[in-house]
């Protein structure tokens, strides 16, 4: 088993996405060391599809498993998007973890000290931007979300075990942030140096969707205003994996959302499998863990004609 990683350390979003105040790097390193002791070989600074042609892997290995994640972020195509100080959330979070662990920043420094920060997006990634900005001693932190405020309790149309869309207040929020919902971001405003200085917003009201149609909204008349913004972080989720590079070289089929299309975990190319966000789209870490385990069973069955990995797992649970 060989793991190829394009960064200088393995860990993916656990290392370069989740802030170290939520997940210590020592926990990640401990798990990686245990895997290495079990025989897994890790090769870093190996960007498959760029540094190494993916077809070369097909010649060297019996199976190729794609677990590159959903890494193309959702952008915000509004006037002023090009201004200095407007960043994707992962640019900010990944760099901060590098800074906290004495690693090369690789790009121009992004630091929120003394800045009026606006986080666009109300999910976990947005929350992480809030917590990181507070630790940078930002002058103010505002978080806006285009969707309505979720209910505080599980709604009737999302019974267990569905993941409920409810209002979540993280420890980062508790540390200090001004949160707003039903907000439309209309324009980034800048100065003559090309730096963002403000954000034009407006309140919206969502309208009930007609059968078969997507919900729509209308702007509240007279609600448009400009708020201070020296730095903005786009935390609006991810669209799909990068279609170029490894996916193009392997010529794997994509679904209508741009994710790797699979039957089970197998792609349209024999011996090539996919798991995690690259296959399902953006999801939770716990789902990716389950994806890895289930895909291991599928690969074992492909190589051996059958698999008893699931039986072993059940046996371990019973013995525990």
Q: Which helix (H) or strand (E) holds 206?
A: strand 196-207
pLDDT band, very low/low/confident/very high, at 307 (cuts 50, 70, 90) = confident
Phi and psi at 4, nearest 5°, equal: -100, 130
- The Cα–Cα gap between 14 and 140 comes to 27
- pLDDT higher than 60, residue 11: yes
Residue 210's pLDDT is 83
Q: 14: Cβ–Cβ under 8 A, 6 or more apart, which residues? A: 23, 28, 285
- pLDDT higher than 90, residue 98: yes
Residue 220's pLDDT is 97
CB 278 within 8 A of CB 291: no
Give the pLDDT mean for 218-242.
97
Residue 319's pLDDT is 42
Residue 194's pLDDT is 97
Lowest mean pLDDT of 27-41, 124-138, 249-263, 304-318, name the range.
304-318
- pLDDT higher than 50, residue 124: yes
- pLDDT higher than 90, residue 163: no
- The Cα–Cα gap between 39 and 3 comes to 11
- pLDDT higher than 50, residue 219: yes
Residue 157's pLDDT is 87
- pLDDT higher than 90, residue 104: yes
Q: Cα angle at 179 between 146 and 230, to 5 degrees?
A: 90
- The Cα–Cα gap between 1 and 40 comes to 5
Residue 312's pLDDT is 56
Residue 165's pLDDT is 85
pLDDT band, very low/low/confident/very high, at 311 (cuts 50, 70, 90) = low
- pLDDT higher than 60, residue 320: no
């Amino acid at each position: 088993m060989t793991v190829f990683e394009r960064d200088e350390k393995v860990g993916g979003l656990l290392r370069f996405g989740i802030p170290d105040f939520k997940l210590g790097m020592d926990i990640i390193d401990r798990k990686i060391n245990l895997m290495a002791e079990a025989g897994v070989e890790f090769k870093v600074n190996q960007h498959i599809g760029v540094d190494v042609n993916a077809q070369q892997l097909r010649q060297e290995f019996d199976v190729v498993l794609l677990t590159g994640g959903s890494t193309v972020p959702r952008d915000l195509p509004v006037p002023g998007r090009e201004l200095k100080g407007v960043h994707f959330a992962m640019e900010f979070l990944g760099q901060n973890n590098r800074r906290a662990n004495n690693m090369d920043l690789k790009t121009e420094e992004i630091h929120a000290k003394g800045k009026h920060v606006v986080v666009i997006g109300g999910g976990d990634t947005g929350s992480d931007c809030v917590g990181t900005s507070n630790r940078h001693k930002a002058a103010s932190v505002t978080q806006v979300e285009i969707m309505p405020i979720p209910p505080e309790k599980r709604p009737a149309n999302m019974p267990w075990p569905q993941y409920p869309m409810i209002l979540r207040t993280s420890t980062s929020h508790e540390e200090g942030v001004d949160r707003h919902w039903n907000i439309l971001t209309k324009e980034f405003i800048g100065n003559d140096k090309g730096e963002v200085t403000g954000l034009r917003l407006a309140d919206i009201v969502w309208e009930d969707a007609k059968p078969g149609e997507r919900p729509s909204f209308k702007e509240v008349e007279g609600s448009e205003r400009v708020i201070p913004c020296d730095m903005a972080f786009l935390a609006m989720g991810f669209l799909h994996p990068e279609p170029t590079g490894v996916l193009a070289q392997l010529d794997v089929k994509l679904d209508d959302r741009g994710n790797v299309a699979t039957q089970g975990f197998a792609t349209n190319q024999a011996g090539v499998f996919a798991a995690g966000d690259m296959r399902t789209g953006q999801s939770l870490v716990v789902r990716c863990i389950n994806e890895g385990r289930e895909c291991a069973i599928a690969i074992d069955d492909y190589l051996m004609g059958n698999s008893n990995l699931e039986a072993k797992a059940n046996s371990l649970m019973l013995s525990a």
